[in-house]
Amino acid sequence: MTEKLSQSHAEREYIPGLGKNFLTPLYDVAHHVFGLRPIHQTMIRLAELRDGHRVLDVGCGTGNLLRTTGQQHRNVDLVGLDPDPKALARAERKARRVGLTVRLDRGFAQELPYREGSFDRVFSSLMLHHLDSASREALLAEVRRVLRPDGLLVLADPVFDEHGHDHGHGRGRRQAGMRGRMGEQMRGNVGDAVSRRIAAAGFTVEPTRTMALRIGGRVGIELAHPSGSGRK
Ligand SMILES: C[S@@+](CC[C@H](N)C(=O)[O-])C[C@H]1O[C@@H](n2cnc3c(N)ncnc32)[C@H](O)[C@@H]1O
C-alpha cells in the first residue's frame, strides 16, 4: 500500500515503514522484535562521527537511529527526513524525551531539500527497499550532491541471494516480501546489486558487511565515500 504526500513542488507516493499507514504506531515494536538496534550501532561506529559533524538520516522513520546517534555523540548536528508525518511526529516526541535537538523534515529521498555539500555523513537505514529503481538512482545522486567531498554514506538494507533467500541465521528462507511491489524492489537487493548501484552513482564502496536480524533475514551495510575525494 502506498501513501500520497502533496507538496508544492511534487506529488509522490511512498511506502510507509511497515507497508501500511495504520501500522506505523507499531513500528518501534517491530524495531525491537527484529533486532535492529545492533544494525544501527554498527552504522554509527562505521560513520566515525566527530564533534561538529552534520548528519542526515534519509528515511529516518520514527527516529531510532537519530536518537541513538545523538545520545552517543552529543555534539553532532542531526537532521532527519521522511515523507511519513506520523513517523516524524513519533521521532520528534522521542528526541524531545531524551533532550535532543533534531531537525525533522517532511520530504523525499529523491529530492533532498538541502544545499550541495552540506552534510558530513548520510545515513540510510532500511529505506532503500521502499524505492523503485529510478527512485534509487535519484536518491544516490542526491546523496552524492549533499555530501561533502570527504563525507561518508552509511546505508543498510536487506540482502538476498538470487533465489530470494535471506539466509537469516542460516535458515535460507524465501522472504514473503519478495512478492508484490515490494518484492520487485527487493530484487534490486540481490547479491552485490546495492553496492554496485552505489558505485555507479560515483562512490567508492567498501566490501559489504552483513548482519543477521534476530527475526527475518540479513542486512547488508554499505560504507561509501564520494569517488575522487582522496580518502582511502
Ligand atoms: C522500514 S522504515 C525504516 C525507518 C528507519 N530508517 C529505521 O531504520 O528504523 C522505512 C522508512 O522509509 C520511509 N520512506 C519511504 N519512501 C521514502 C522516500 N521516498 N524518501 C524517504 N523516505 C521514505 C518510510 O516512510 C519509512 O519511515
Go through the domains of the chain in sequence order and give each one's CATH number: 32-226 (3.40.50.150)
DSSP class per residue in 31-88: HHHHT-HHHHHHHHHHHT--TT-EEEEET-TTSHHHHHHHHH-TTSEEEEEES-HHHH
pLDDT in tens, 155-174: 999 998 776 666 554 444 44
Q: How far apart are CA 157 and CA 165, in angstroms?
A: 14
232 residues of the chain, pLDDT tens digit each: 344 444 444 568 888 887 778 888 877 777 777 878 999 999 999 999 999 999 999 999 999 999 999 999 999 999 999 999 999 999 999 999 999 999 999 999 999 999 999 999 999 999 999 999 999 999 999 999 999 999 999 999 999 877 666 655 444 444 444 556 677 777 788 889 999 999 999 999 999 999 998 887 899 999 999 998 666 6
* Distance from Cα 124 to the centre of ligand 1, integer Å: 8
- Is 177 a pocket residue for ligand 1 (Cβ < 6 Å)? no
Q: What is the pLDDT of residue 7?
A: 46
Q: Give me 10's grid cell.
A: 511534487
Q: Give me 187's grid cell.
A: 530484487
* Distance from Cα 61 to the centre of ligand 1, integer Å: 5
Residues 6+ apart with CB under 8 A from 222: 153, 154, 155, 156, 194, 195, 198, 205, 206, 208
- Is 67 a pocket residue for ligand 1 (Cβ < 6 Å)? no
Q: What is the pLDDT of residue 34?
A: 81
- Is 66 a pocket residue for ligand 1 (Cβ < 6 Å)? no
Residue 190 pairs in a beta bridge with: 160
pLDDT in tens, 170-195: 444 444 445 566 777 777 888 899 99
The ligand 1 atom at the shortest distance from the C-alpha of residue 40 is: 8
- Is 219 a pocket residue for ligand 1 (Cβ < 6 Å)? no
* Distance from Cα 232 to the centre of ligand 1, integer Å: 30
Angle between the N-to-C axes of helices 85-97 and 64-72, in degrees from 0 to 180, rounded to the nearest 10:
20
Nearest CA residue ID for atom 27, ligand 1: 61
Provide the whole-model pTM: 0.89
Task: Find the Cα–Cα–Cα–Cα dihedral 52, 53, 54, 58, rounded to 10°.
Answer: -150
